[in-house]
Amino acid sequence: MATQSNNLTADDVYEKGARTQRIELPEENPHLITKLIDFCYTSDYFDTKYTIDYGWEGQAYISKLHTNAEMHAMGERYGVQGLKELAVAKFETALEMEPSESIPTQMITLIPLIYAGTPGTDRGMRDRILAPALAYSKQLSGLPGFKSMIAENIDFVTDVFQAMSFLNTILPYREAWH
């Protein structure tokens, strides 16, 4: 993993592992660590449901959208730019394939996950969640947890208003495009 990471060096990994013969990442979902390791070896990972139950405690599989958002956040934490880029591409594909009726409900947890997992300067995943947020805004705003999600994610609210402002500037010219 150190060869893929901007945050970890081989010396860091060796030093931590040499002392204990293991590297512990207790805050990480073991299933996602397995996907990270897959990425380090193959430059890819499966965003499908976990096929093997190792008896690990941790977050259960929710969807491809959540898996890819989590992998993007992991790429951010460990400085693995290639993982972040792949996660964005897989997120876009998953969004196209996801049944539209499940998207608004998933967004209640996806938005905080994406905004907590990336700095404001990293637009990759943040920009990908804005279009569906606007498209499903009516359904989203009626869901339990929406108001608290908005209150806790002010950067998202700012991005939505900026996107709406941009749309309002180009919509008057829409007639010229048709």
Per-residue pLDDT, 178? 44
Query: Which of 47, 79, 98 finishes a domain?
Result: 98
Same domain flag for 9 and 56: yes
Per-residue pLDDT, 3? 46
Identify which of 49, 75, 84 has the alpha carbon closest to the alpha carbon of residue 64. 49
How many structural domains are present in the chain? 2
Per-residue pLDDT, 45? 95
Q: Quote the DSSP letter at residue 29.
A: -
Same domain flag for 75 and 149: no
List average pLDDT for each run of 10 residues in the chain, which is 178 residues long.
Answer: 50 56 72 90 90 64 92 94 97 94 94 94 93 92 94 95 76 50
As given in the structure block, the two tokens for residue 56 are: 């690990």
Per-residue pLDDT, 81? 95
Per-residue pLDDT, 53? 64
Same domain flag for 113 and 33: no
